Structure 1
Amino acid sequence: MTITSTSLFFDRAASRLNTLSGRTQTIQDQISSGKKLTAPSDDAVGYQRLQSIARGTADDVAWGKNITLARTVLDQADTTLDSVTNQLQKAQELVIQASSGTLSDGNRAVIATQLRGIVDDLVSLANSKDSRGGPLFGAASGDTAVTRDALGVVSFTGTGDPVSIPVGEGIAIQPSESAERLFGGLASGGGTTDVFALLSTLATALAAGGSPGAAAGDALNGVKASLDQVSNARGSIGARGARLDLESARLDATALTRESERSSIEDTNLATAIVELQKTSTILQATQSSLAKLSSLSLFDYLR
């Protein structure tokens, strides 16, 4: 009976030593790697949560890239619209000059040439490309914002608004405005027209000589209306940029929260781990010492 009990004691002691040795090695590995969780078996619930955090982080990285893209396109649109505003203001000054009855036909011809140059510049600005190589002011469809035929008539390409860029779950930002909203939709004779047509019509009338008549008044009203549309568009673009800033701040805050949670699950707390290692090592050494002393006793000592 005593021999059996002694054998059981030594088996249990050996098992205890193996457990303590394994625990010591595990803590040492956690300290050296900085990770306390490396496999699902370490903590099944924690490992599942880490996978969820990783997926959320990957999604937010994608949202962050889209936010950067949307902000880039918005900045491009605003910068380009600043140039559009300058051209329309020049056109407005020329139209006012053209309305003067004291101009000679030569003066009117010069203004006509300048107006045609402004139309060319506006067409070029309307067809600007964004950072992706697509039309900056394009509609939902079409490879360009506007087209121009052999007679110089400008037409809008495609319909609808520019395609929005998703920047969050259920959140999308329209990065620019369509050329038709900026330059078209101008009231004229019970219908609508665009600033290209109005300026071109005035330029033709001026080149023909004599008073431009109603063409000057129509062009002036159209340029003013187009300036208002561009100003409204820039205000909207600014508001969308502010929304992107909010989304970016939200992503940053979420990233900090996720990183804190990830670290609490996965990373080793060095201070705690070192204390745990010291404690486990002390118990291991004490157990080894006790077992060594017991092992040195003779069978007769056990039988006393």
Structure 2
Amino acid sequence: MMSSINRNRPRDAIQSQIDLAHAITAQQNAIATGKRLNVPSDDPQGWLEVSLVARQQGNEAAWTANIGRAETRAVQAESSISELATGLTRAKELTVQANNGTLNAADREGIAKELEGILANFSDLLNQDDSYGGKLFADTAIEVPIGGTRTVIAAPSLAKLSGGIDDGAGGTTTLKDAMLTTIDAIRNGSGAQRSAALTTLDSATNHVSVMLTEQGVARGRLESARNQFIDSKIVLAERRQQIESVDVTDAITRLKKLDITLQAAQSVYGRITQRSLLDFLR
């Protein structure tokens, strides 16, 4: 049995030196890269956590990019809806003015022309493209992912923005039709018809006001999500650094100790291998 143990000693000594050399190489790499995790075997649990953190960082970077694009569309939509509200306010003023009994046909024609200009502007606003080449107010509203299960609609659909307006007769109308009805009432209608058109414009104004409020809510959600990811980015980066980074001073101390241990092992092994057969038989 003793002979067997002695025969294994050189092999064990060689393996010990190999292990020490690998440990020294690992410390040298850690010092050079500033990271203690260069391969999974350095720390399997730490490597797994870093992988999870990196995945979350990638997801949040993608969501932050989505937020940026959504914010661009949301700002453009809010500005456009605000302009619709301004146009409707002016349209109401003109309709009230047109219902003045002292105006003649020429005066009302001038008002109708101005309303047609407002309607043309409405058409441009509702059919404009966004900064990415698509329709700002599309047939179907685009839900933008801004988190694991969160989405936001940066701009309403065309139908939601321009339709569903109470026509004062138990039905609904569109922004375009409300304006066309008003223009026709001013040109050709009676005072009662112009008053009815004004009521519809009031409904349109209320509708657009609600849409403007909803747009503000959407922008608020985007801002909140962006701020959350700004904070999360800092936390994730700090945690990743804690796991990955090496304490250089500690690593240098470990390297020196390993180097001394390896030199000692090599010295002992050298003396053992130089002993003669008679030395083993004594």
- TM-score, normalization by structure 1: 0.78
Distance 1:193 1:300, change over 3 A: closer
- Aligned residue for 1:173, secondary structure, equals strand
Q: Alpha-carbon deviation of 1:85?
A: 1.8
Aligned ranges 1:200-215 → 2 under 5 Å: 200-208=180-188, 212-215=190-193
- Aligned residue for 1:21, secondary structure, equals helix
Give the structure 1 partner of residue 72 of structure 2: 72
Q: 1:234 aligns with which of 203, 212, 223?
A: 212
CA distance in structure 2 between the partners assigned to 1:118 and 1:269 by the alignment: 68
CA distance in structure 2 between the partners assigned to 1:118 and 1:289 by the alignment: 95
Distance 1:190 1:6, change over 3 A: closer
Q: Alpha-carbon deviation of 1:7?
A: 7.0
Q: Alpha-carbon deviation of 1:32?
A: 1.0
Distance 1:278 1:112, change over 3 A: same
CA distance in structure 2 between the partners assigned to 1:15 and 1:163 by the alignment: 63
Work out the percentage of aligned pairs sharing the same amino acid. Answer: 30
Aligned residue identity for 1:86: T
- CA offsets 1:8-59 (integer angstroms, 9 cap, x no match): 6655544443332332222111211223223333333333333333332222
- Aligned residue for 2:167, secondary structure, equals strand
CA distance in structure 1 between the partners assigned to 2:3 and 2:213 by the alignment: 92
> Do the aligned partners of 2:168 and 2:199 also contact (CA within 8 Å) in 1?
no
CA distance in structure 2 between the partners assigned to 1:93 and 1:193 by the alignment: 20
Aligned ranges 1:151-170 → 2 under 5 Å: 162-170=141-149
The alignment status of 1:251 with 2:251, answered yes or no, reads no
Aligned residue identity for 2:150: I
> Do the aligned partners of 1:23 and 1:280 also contact (CA within 8 Å) in 2?
yes
Distance 1:279 1:205, change over 3 A: same
- CA offsets 1:114-162 (integer angstroms, 9 cap, x no match): 111111111111112223333222332xxxxxxxxxxxxxxxxxxxxx2
Aligned ranges 1:45-60 → 2 under 5 Å: 45-60=45-60
Give the structure 1 partner of residue 166 of structure 2: 186
Give the structure 1 partner of residue 178 of structure 2: 198
Q: 2:245 aligns with which of 245, 267, 276?
A: 267
Q: Alpha-carbon deviation of 1:110?
A: 0.7
> Do the aligned partners of 1:181 and 1:229 also contact (CA within 8 Å) in 2?
no
25-34 vs 37-46, which deviates more?
37-46
CA distance in structure 2 between the partners assigned to 1:196 and 1:217 by the alignment: 18
> Do the aligned partners of 1:98 and 1:212 also contact (CA within 8 Å) in 2?
no
CA distance in structure 2 between the partners assigned to 1:120 and 1:192 by the alignment: 21
CA distance in structure 2 between the partners assigned to 1:199 and 1:303 by the alignment: 114
If each structure's helix is expressed as a fraction of its own residues, which one has the higher value? 2
Aligned ranges 1:58-137 → 2 under 5 Å: 58-137=58-137
The alignment status of 1:174 with 2:159, answered yes or no, reads no
Q: Alpha-carbon deviation of 1:100?
A: 0.8
> Do the aligned partners of 1:195 and 1:222 also contact (CA within 8 Å) in 2?
no
Structure 1 gap segments, 5+ residues each: 141-161
The alignment status of 1:220 with 2:176, answered yes or no, reads no
> Do the aligned partners of 1:112 and 1:207 also contact (CA within 8 Å) in 2?
yes
CA distance in structure 2 between the partners assigned to 1:218 and 1:132 by the alignment: 40
**CA-atom RMSD in angstroms:** 3.1
Distance 1:194 1:217, change over 3 A: farther
Aligned residue identity for 2:175: V
- CA offsets 1:68-106 (integer angstroms, 9 cap, x no match): 222221111101112212211221221111011111211
> Do the aligned partners of 2:95 and 2:186 also contact (CA within 8 Å) in 1?
no
CA distance in structure 2 between the partners assigned to 1:9 and 1:164 by the alignment: 69
CA distance in structure 2 between the partners assigned to 1:114 and 1:3 by the alignment: 112
- Aligned residue for 1:165, secondary structure, equals strand
CA distance in structure 2 between the partners assigned to 1:189 and 1:297 by the alignment: 113
Q: Alpha-carbon deviation of 1:167?
A: 1.3
CA distance in structure 2 between the partners assigned to 1:202 and 1:29 by the alignment: 78
263-272 vs 120-129, which deviates more?
263-272
The alignment status of 1:277 with 2:255, answered yes or no, reads yes
> Do the aligned partners of 1:105 and 1:206 also contact (CA within 8 Å) in 2?
no
